[in-house]
A = this chain, B = another copy of it.
């Protein structure tokens, strides 16, 4: 994924060099690459190879990277750090950070439309484009972030937070899995549906686990070095509302729902099972 992303980002020695350098800085400075890995794992489950969906994996990661750059802006989460390094608007400047996010989003769609290393039919490329656009737009990620910002200082019921998480984090996680399913139209319908049933609880559990890690990070350090994630700033984040024990229990329940959904698969879904374990039992 690192190499595939590096090859597709514009070169830092071509104009506009500062924008290009900032785009590379924001995408190539690390990250767990959760969404590409889920896309790859889902491909394995339906019998595709990673090479066939490399461009789509880059597209979902670019979309995720763009959202982090914009979420970190002073007008949003005002995060100074991202993955332990200065956030884009701190390393460069705020105007550049806005444009970096904008250009990363465009590049994601450009890959789906025209990347040579995506050997699928035009109708499937269009379906991938549609899945990504729906997942990150007003009905998905951007809408979820808007809901989060609007209600962050309020005390929200757990169900409202879950509905917001489903958009803010869950939609792109789910799209990453569904995009793999879309690339395998010959796979049995019940298997492609099973991937959707896997992705929804996984995306939600992933975000609650993130909250839990933020909460324990705060507790362990006296709040001095919070993880620079917007969830850590939400005063009504999930564990704060429902309590740590209830949040942990919710992650375990969602985890088992996700694994149950994978039952129709054989060993081909083992990478996905491993990913779910890694994501939901992780400590960083």
| Residue of B with least CB distance to A124 | B122
With A and B bound together, what is the CA distance between A121 and B121 in angstroms? 12
User: Does A101 lie at the interface of the complex (its beta carbon under 8 Å from any beta carbon of B)?
Assistant: yes
With A and B bound together, what is the CA distance between A103 and B137 in angstroms? 5
Which of B75, B114, B149 is close to A130, meaning CB atoms less than 8 Å apart? B114
| Residue of B with least CB distance to A140 | B106
Residues 66 to 88 of chain A near chain B (Cβ within 8 Å): 66-67, 70, 73, 75-76
User: Does A99 lie at the interface of the complex (its beta carbon under 8 Å from any beta carbon of B)?
Assistant: yes
State whether A146 and B113 are in contact (beta carbons under 8 Å apart), knowing that A105-B102, A105-B106, A137-B103 are contacts in the complex.
no
User: Does A207 lie at the interface of the complex (its beta carbon under 8 Å from any beta carbon of B)?
Assistant: no
With A and B bound together, what is the CA distance between A278 and B101 in angstroms? 34
Residues 162 to 187 of chain A near chain B (Cβ within 8 Å): none
A203-239, CB under 8 A of B: which get 1 and which 0?
0000000000000000000000000000000000000
Contact A76 B103 (CB under 8 A): no
Interface size for A (C-beta < 8 A) is 55
Contact A143 B110 (CB under 8 A): no
With A and B bound together, what is the CA distance between A67 and B106 in angstroms? 12
Residues 92 to 128 of chain A near chain B (Cβ within 8 Å): 93-99, 101-103, 105-107, 109-110, 112-114, 121-123, 125-127
10 CB-based A-B contacts, threshold 8 Å: A18-B146, A98-B101, A99-B149, A102-B136, A107-B133, A107-B137, A109-B132, A109-B133, A113-B126, A122-B122
